[in-house]
Amino acid sequence: MQRRQAILANKNLKPPLDPFEEEEKADSLKPNPAWVDKQIDKWFENEEANIHAKGLETPEKLATLNALKMLKLGRTVEKMGGQKEKQFLTDFEAWLIGAGRPEDSMKTPWGR
């Protein structure tokens, strides 16, 4: 009996609030972050599909696709956090699209 009371008194062992209880305490309503991420991912997919549906490969189309890739990468980096990872991922993405640093290209057997 004492053990049960001690467990119930420990704040670390209490279950999280019900979503409705959290909503009551909130000053303003905010969407679930997981839902927001899904919506943004859907938007990226729709935009890429729209760009691919436009037809021939033009420089503008390729630039738009590269911009979308960079935005996606930026979101991924923000989720990951950490400056070293962010720098590596941005350098890697730049290298992939042919805009990397010369020293990075020299490390590969095929160059750029």
The answer to pTM > 0.85 is no
| Token pair 């009996």: residue | 1
83-96 and 59-80 helices cross at what angle (nearest 10)? 160
Q: Write out pLDDT tens, residues 6-34.
A: 666 666 667 777 878 887 887 887 888 88
Q: Where are the domains of the chain?
A: 32-106
From 55-59, 60-64, 81-85, 90-94, the region with the lowest mean pLDDT: 81-85
Distance CA 20, CA 43 (A): 29
Candidate ranges 36-40, 73-77, 80-84, 95-99; pick with highest mean pLDDT: 36-40
pLDDT of residue 87: 79
Q: What is the mean pLDDT of the chain?
A: 78
